[in-house]
Amino acid sequence: MSWELSNPARQRQLETKFKAHGIPFENAGFCDHPNFIERERKDSRYLELYAQYIEAKGYTPDYLDVARRKIDIAAEVLRSEVERDGRLGACVDTSGMLGRMLDRLGVWNYVAKSCLTISFPGKSGAADRYFWSFDEGEFVAPHAIVVAPPYYIIDLTVKQQPYSAKQSALLPSIVLEKCFTRGGWVPEDLANHRFLLELRRRHMPFEIFLKQQSPGMASVMQQLPPRISAFKGTHLKYVIVAVGGFIESLEGITGYKPNGRLAHSIFETDVLPLISKEGLG
């Protein structure tokens, strides 16, 4: 088992920066160190460096195997809880909860806000679905996932969205993608059709609009490459547009409570016993 995005030169470069800022980087979750938080106050995009570090870092096969087993347990427990709760569109809260659980388990991870393009098999007759950054209505993020080696994509709520019955039948209950398939992106992955038509009417190329109006997003898309997962002929393209997650600790997550349960309670009652049973505690 390996991590294809490892980049030793970039890892050293980031470690030099963290060291210069007085930030220890040896353990997962070092983004909670006071010196890291202080840097974030000065630079709102500093958390992107943490995500870049996780992608560039080298991992031993033993680490990746143990991390995979821990992730599998926590991800399935939380996915099942959210499915039973029945709330749709809880991707941001759910991914944030998983990120904090993995921090507690010593698993390197980051939470990403992502656009998602779902291309169903042509013969299915199901219309493609898009979760855009530039769309109508108010929302925190188009979609949210977790990246945690050895998984390039962890999506617990891909099926917990308002789909037609035909679309839902063609989707996995969870995405745990261990193979890296690099994707490209087109404007249609990021913006709704009406928005793009308006840009064309103004003779404004989308790439120029993006660099002028959302330079941070353009940078993230370059540093954290789009990635694809496939399931029975359905292709899911994730275009990472921002790095997110909860500021609060696991105990401090009190907003979304699936089935009335706090994230910390789910972790202590359901996740940790399974971790211990597998000898991973």
The gap from C-alpha 4 to its chain's centroid, in whole angstroms, comes to 17
Closest to 91 (Cα-Cα) out of 271, 236, 275: 236
Query: pLDDT of the chain along its 281 residues, tens only?
Result: 899 999 999 999 999 999 999 999 999 999 999 999 999 999 999 999 999 999 999 999 999 999 999 999 999 999 999 999 999 999 999 999 999 999 999 999 999 999 999 999 989 999 999 999 998 766 567 999 999 999 999 999 999 999 999 999 999 999 999 999 999 999 999 999 999 999 999 999 999 999 999 999 999 999 999 999 999 999 999 999 999 999 999 999 999 999 999 999 999 999 999 999 999 97
pLDDT of residue 140: 62
Categorise residue 151: left if φ over 0, alpha if ψ from -120 to 50, beta otherwise. beta
pLDDT of residue 107: 99
Give Cβ neighbours of residue 52 (< 8 Å, ≥ 6 apart): 10, 14, 223, 224
Q: How far apart are CA 25 and CA 195, in angstroms?
A: 42
Cβ atoms of 146 and 109 closer than 8 Å: yes
| pLDDT tens string 58-108 | 999 999 999 999 999 999 999 999 999 999 999 999 999 999 999 999 999
pTM of the model: 0.95
Q: How far apart are CA 153 and CA 171, in angstroms?
A: 15
Mean pLDDT (the chain, rounded)? 96
| pLDDT tens string 229-259 | 999 999 999 999 999 999 999 999 999 999 9
pLDDT of residue 137: 65
